[in-house]
Structure 1
Amino acid sequence: MRAEISSLVDDMKQSIGLLRRHLDWDNALRRLAELNAKSEDPSIWNDPQKAQKLMRERQDLDKRIGMIRDLEQSIADNTELIELGDMEGDQSIVTEAEKALQALKPKVAETEIETLLSGEADANDAFLQINAGAGGTESQDWASMLMRMYLRYANKYGFKAEVLDEHAGEEAGIKSCTIQIKGHNAYGKLKTESGVHRLVRISPYDSNARRHTSFSSVWVYPVVDDNIDIVVVESDLKVDTYRASGAGGQHVNTTDSAVRITHVPTGIIVACQAERSQHKNRATALKMLKARLYEMELQKQQEKIDAANAKKTDIGWGHQIRSYVLQPYQLVKDLRTGHTSTSPGDVLDGEVEDFIQASLAHKVKGGGDQVIEDIE
């Protein structure tokens, strides 16, 4: 076997080994056997909601195990064909098998992403919240640039995006906004964007043309679907109404239709002003609150930093996940994975997919948080 093909096979086998580890292969097989046995019991349909949840889990687990098995079988079959072709001196067999192995490489990469997007809420829609850090106009302008970046990302990659809440800055930009992004695996992909984003540039608001560093935070949490029951006690809520704000035009109301809900036990605050109807805005804000409460539970289950701590994180040095440098050179660098781009203009125009995929791949390979040194 040629060294190039041998190296390709070794790399793919290593990736599949990591996928097995991520899936916890032996436990996954045992769980699938349990689900298969339960699915054959007619009594499970006495509780249709529970039965549907079980069948979804079974279908998802069966699909992921099947994808890994299919890849392993294809690699084994084509490796054997190369050995057979070499033994019989039939170069045509070798050539076809090598082509088949090369065609498997992108399939292995796709399977990595599918396996990584297998969390309980990964397939759900997402709420994406942006908050400007300290620094006034500079950070507020940076927050608006991030808002534009994610809206363009959604448009380019087949998601639908709607701005639910937006608070304009005093001079420029925004203080905060919340976007709902709809589409398959929206949360699974965008959750890797949660963290502090840092911008370095020559400020357009500084008459002395000095270099400024600005920070804004991004926080992504899943939209809770109807199959997940989150109980919210009405007495735990503080509801305020206010007049919607924004860039102007028909979406800015002249009545107090915007709604802000504070969940007193946790301190979580959500707001919505997307609709003219106070009732509709309240319903959407309540849905956002349930999503935030659900995310807190997911974080506890996964032994990650819970949502309450994330909300209290300082928006500044030591917490950033990505730096965007526009001057004195052009570079975007993810501090968790080391992935870079020398075209920050393209990234800020919505080309974030490579960074998302790098973060997902980093996760399956057991990468820790912020292992790469920061850039100046």
Structure 2
Amino acid sequence: MSRPDFWLDQEKARAKSKRRDELVQEVKQWKELKADTETLASMAHSVVDDEVLGKECENLEKRFEELEFFILFSGKRDKSDCILAIHAGAGGTEAQDWAEMLLRMYLRFCERQGLTARIVDESRGGEAGIKSITLEVSGRYAYGWLKSEHGVHRLVRISPFDAEKMRHTSFALAEVLPVLEEVAITIDPKDLRVDTFLSSGHGGQSVQTTYSAVRIVHLPTGITVTCQNERSQQQNRETAMKILRGKLHALAEQVQEKELSKVRGEYKEAAWGNQIRSYVLHPYHMVKDLRTKYETSDTDGVLDGKLEPFVENYLRWQAGKLKASAKEYD
């Protein structure tokens, strides 16, 4: 930060400065915990009130568990901001309403974690709900907090749109991609087709009067990204390129994982049948993660953004898998 050219790129400089402040704060918290633990240990022989000692020990243990949790954010991209996209599955209004329920759940979760979520593209449903929506989520460990949500989410409930009050099953897909620096992945401009069209988003007075919306197609892979909620064509293009870099990075990781899984004999085709989490609201209440097996009957709490137990169980499950994989290849 003391280099003369540090502030030439102010956006990158602010990001690095923010990350430095976060690391300084983390180190400070660990040092304070260490000092308080040593103080309590030295007092143990002189304090005769076991109840006081017990409460202090519980307090230190709680602080340790809170700090230890952040060690689980050890993935290469966990500290990055991220792109969260939600797509309704087949089923029309039912699935679109479920997609909007997931959107609300994630927005509440972001609020709980102090993350900022900004809509960059949105396609509303005809009767209710959303067909698809894309958000940029920024803040401390944004990708680490949300990466466990990547996959298919299944809902079972009595449909509010069915006059006969029949039970329905709906699906929605959540995509979570890290926001990458431009240097992290190279894209040849010759591989892109860029189209512009009239925006229908919330971009201010210029919406639907100028061709500010942008659609970018990556020709080698066929990946298409659309952005229309920014105020200018240039801003929409920059945001679309962020999303495209994330999708290409995810695709490269999928190809690598597929090859490794073939060697292990565990590869499964990604499909709507391979859900990561099931939300049952009828005939009983249960949310269950099909990877970690963690479950809770507090469906209202989960749909109101209480996802922390699911995230923690996923991160510990993932860490266990990585540890087992490392032993396998030793």
Identify the residue that residue 184 of structure 1 maps to in structure 2: 140
- Corresponding residue for residue 284 of structure 2: 329
138-147 or 211-220, which moves further after superposition? 138-147
Q: How many Å separate the matches in 2 of 1:293 and 1:64?
A: 32
Contact 1:253 1:276 in 2 (8 A): no
Contiguous gaps of at least 5 residues in structure 1? 1-44, 369-376
Measured after TM superposition, the shift of residue 81 of structure 1 is 7.6
Counterpart of 1:221? Answer: 177
Instruction: In structure 2, give the amino acid aligned to 1:233.
Output: D
> Are the equivalent residues in 1 in contact too, given 2:203–2:229 (CA < 8 A)?
no
Match of 1:313 among 252, 270, 288: 270
> Partner of 2:48: helix, strand, or coil?
helix
What are the Cα deviations for residues 173-220 of structure 1, in whole angstroms up to 9, with x where unaligned?
Answer: 222111111111001110011111111111122221110000001110
Map of 1:167 onto structure 2: 123
Q: Higher mean Cα deviation, 115-124 or 289-298?
A: 289-298
**Separation in 2 of the partners of 1:281 and 1:356?**
31
Deviation at 1:68, TM superposition (A): 8.6
Is residue 2:196 matched to residue 1:206?
A: no
CA shift, 1:144, in A, is 1.5
8 Å Cα contact 1:239-1:259 kept in structure 2 = yes
CA 1:280–1:247 in structure 2 vs 1: closer, same or farther (change >3 Å)? Answer: closer
Give 1:68-107 correspondences, 5 Å limit. 85=45, 92=48, 98-107=54-63
Let me know the Cα RMSD of the aligned residues: 4.2
Query: Which whole-Å CA distance do the structure 2 matches of 1:230 and 1:111 have between them?
Result: 32
Does residue 269 of the first structure (1) align with residue 224 of the second (2)? yes
Contact 2:203 2:230 in 1 (8 A): no
Q: Is the 8 A contact 1:197 1:216 kept in 2?
A: yes
Change (3 A) 1:116 1:64: farther
8 Å CA contact retained: 2:47, 2:53: no
Superposition TM-score, scaled by structure 2 size: 0.76
1:78, 1:98 within 8 Å by CA — same for their partners in 2? Answer: no
User: Of 302, 309, 315, which aligns to 1:360?
Assistant: 315
- The alignment partner of 1:92 has SS state of coil
1:313 alignment partner AA:
A
Change (3 A) 1:243 1:62: closer
One-letter amino acid of the counterpart of residue 274, structure 1 = N
One-letter amino acid of the counterpart of residue 264, structure 1: L
Q: CA 1:68–1:296 in structure 2 vs 1: closer, same or farther (change >3 Å)?
A: farther
Contact 2:203 2:231 in 1 (8 A): no
Per-residue displacement from partner, 1:258-316 (whole Å, max 9, x unpaired)?
21212122332221111242222112101211222234456677x5899xxx9x8322x
8 Å Cα contact 1:113-1:360 kept in structure 2: no
Supply the distance in 2 between the matched residues of 1:117 and 1:175 (Cα, whole angstroms): 31
Which residue of 277, 302, 306 maps to 1:351?
A: 306
Name the structure with the higher helix share. 1
1:134 to 2:90 alignment: yes
Which position in structure 1 is the counterpart of 2:263? Answer: none
Counterpart among 71, 86, 110 of residue 115 in structure 1: 71
- Corresponding residue for 1:9? none
| Partner SS state of residue 171, structure 1 | coil
Find out whether 1:291 has 2:249 as its counterpart. no
**Structure number with larger C-alpha Rg:** 1
Q: Quote the sequence identity (%).
A: 45
The 1-side partners of 2:39 and 2:251 are apart by 45
Match of 1:342 in 2: 297
What residue number does 2:10 align with? none
What TM-score do the two structures reach when normalised by structure 1?
0.67
Q: 1:75 to 1:305 in 2, by over 3 A?
A: farther
- 1:133–1:217 CA contact under 8 A, matched in 2: yes
The 1:304/1:348 distance shift into structure 2, 3 A limit, reads farther
Aligned mates of 1:119, 1:60 — CA distance in 2:
17
**Corresponding residue pairs, total:** 308
Question: Is residue 279 from structure 1 mapped to residue 197 from structure 2 by the alignment?
Answer: no
What is the DSSP-based 3-state SS (H/G/I as helix, E as strand, rest coil) of the residue aligned with 1:154?
helix
